[in-house]
Chain A
Amino acid sequence: MNFFESIKIAAASLWARKTRSALSILGIVVGILTVASLLSVALGVKQKVTTSIESLGSNLVAVVPGKIEKGGTPNFFAQLGASTLTEQDYDAIREAAPEAKNVAMAMLVTGTVRAGDTSLNSAIIFAASPGIEQAFNVRREEGRFLDTVDETQRAHTVVLGAIAAKQLFPAGSALNKTIDIRGEGFTVVGVLEAVVSASGFGGPDVNSFVMMPLRTGWDLTGTKQVFRIMMQASDAESISVLADKVKQTLLGTHRGEEDFSVLTQEDLLGFVNNIFDILTAMLSAIAAISLFVGGIGIMNIMLVSVSERTREIGIRKAVGATRGAILLQFLVESVMLTFLGGIIAIALFIAGIPIAKARVPSLPIELNVQVLLLALGFSALVGIIFGIVPAYRASQKHPIEALRAE
């Protein structure tokens, strides 16, 4: 008996027990649907974050306080507390690496932003030296960027991110309006274009920015904190050279103590990949449990089927079926059940994507051929794993005892 023959027999057998077959694949449909959905969402989120990091700015090199081990997951706690970076570091970098473009330093200012009766708690008050906009690769919607005049005059001027501007001034343009930060008045001189957020991965959420000159920030807080030094390499090839030069320079200013990290976009993408590897592993584990439950259902139904069809097994053996032929027949039945479940699940998944996107527009779920093939492969694998024991039992039945079975 060849494989094609087994498929024909299995199909006929499953068709003869239509209702039971349909019910038994429900578990697999749910399992495969879970696998496809979770992996697609994980890949979608990863894609989104990767895109946002890539949009941070081309050839970006960032210095952050605290030591972050590359190749692992980022230790965000390393960046908490008082910054280890200083203005001297900034000056040292400018001197040692004149080829670095748009070198800028920045700090965070805590406080609430108000515009009349509207207050904004989610704003990121960012004090930065000129050049930060270019380093972040952001564009103006209206007005101007902060410049050296603002910086030297310690001006009370701000540039707002797109979301911050809209939240503070929902009725119209924010330009030339006055806002209040920590009791002091600031004039809005520019509004940024909305960008894809890269918050959480070394990149700030530019949309929520309320950006003031660095020295104004120092005055406002009474401290001279520097929590980021950003710059751009002249081209992609010189990123690592610049990063290394910056690192060596700062080791000099920090007396050999590496209490800072020089990050490139590649490093950030590496962090993202590591985080998503963990996330994918977790989601895979959840999906595996779901598939396991479905698989147990298949195993159960196949064991019942073998038990009910003992006489059929006896008849087949009496007319010349080998153990291998019986094993193959029941294994093919099991795989056919789960594979069919996989196909139904994928059809439902594909049909469900537009519905899910319509209901939750921000859901980053994408149709990914690799995920679909993986899901189909898993469905077949579940059929083999959970079908092998019933199939083996069937194949081992003694022909006479099988024939005498009721």
Chain B
Amino acid sequence: MSLKVENLSVAYRMRAGDCCPVDGVTFTVADGEIMGLAGESGCGKSTLGNSLIFMEGRMKLLGGRVVLDRQELPIADFRAMQPLRMTKVSLVPQYAMNALSPTRRISKLTTDLLRSHGVREDSVLEEMKRRLRLIGLGPDVLSKYSFELSGGMRQRVTIILSTLLNPSLLIADEVTSALDVSTQRAVGEMLMEFRDRGFVKSVIAITHDLSILAQIADTITVMYAGRLAEKADAGTVVKAPLHPYTQMLLASLPEVGLRHDQTTLTGIPGRPPSLVSPPSGCRFAGRCPFARAQCAQAPPFEEVAPGHRVACWKVSRGWPEGGRV
């Protein structure tokens, strides 16, 4: 068991009160697993990813624990996490490709980064060149400034940098977003390749794009308004989802080959609830066509089939199909 997250709750301190985008989240990621974490903007997926490695000052751990390779991560202790960052857990934050300093060459940037983690660059530089070659970039990239590279090249360089010390867990936050389809594919395949070669043991790939996850992820976890809605292997989530939210989300995605004059897709009416004062029961109940009185209580995130967990009364109680009662 590579990563074990138990009952994790993380809040942001705000003037209006605590906003709790990660609320009692429990899951595991196995060795060699690429877990896709999907959800819409504001559902807490990035906060969840960040909390595993980098708790900023305005973030507060409300409860729960995180165990990586049998070692509990001191996630709430910013300084105690420092030696674990990049060596055990690594993060490619959102928009990371724009985070490369424009005034330093890639090689200098790499050196600085490694030294700040107490690693001598000459022991790793050959490996970095090898990995660059592996994904089709020449060693000349090292002598360039970030603005001389295209967006796709920068994104791949940031992934190489963050996995250079072979961390156990890589958190990749929207690494394929804002890229062209061909570059998206290259980055997605790079993640799989790095996992296959053991550069990282497991990956949490955070994205709003389910179709990318269908390509690269082994399992998909769907998050809604701070809670996990469904987790199963990627094929099951895409082909036989059980949570009404997953079902409706998938039904709203146009695929190549679909036209408006044959099939009219529909979105999900309504908006997610506020995370400052969320409803006490199921968070999706307000938009769910199947909601019943019982949904005023929060459904547990239960295993309904081997490896398939769902937080929905309709699924765990086996309600028949039908409208609102």
Instruction: Tell whether A pairs with B.
Output: no
Give me the interface of A with B, judged by CB distance under 8 Å: none
Give me the interface of B with A, judged by CB distance under 8 Å: none
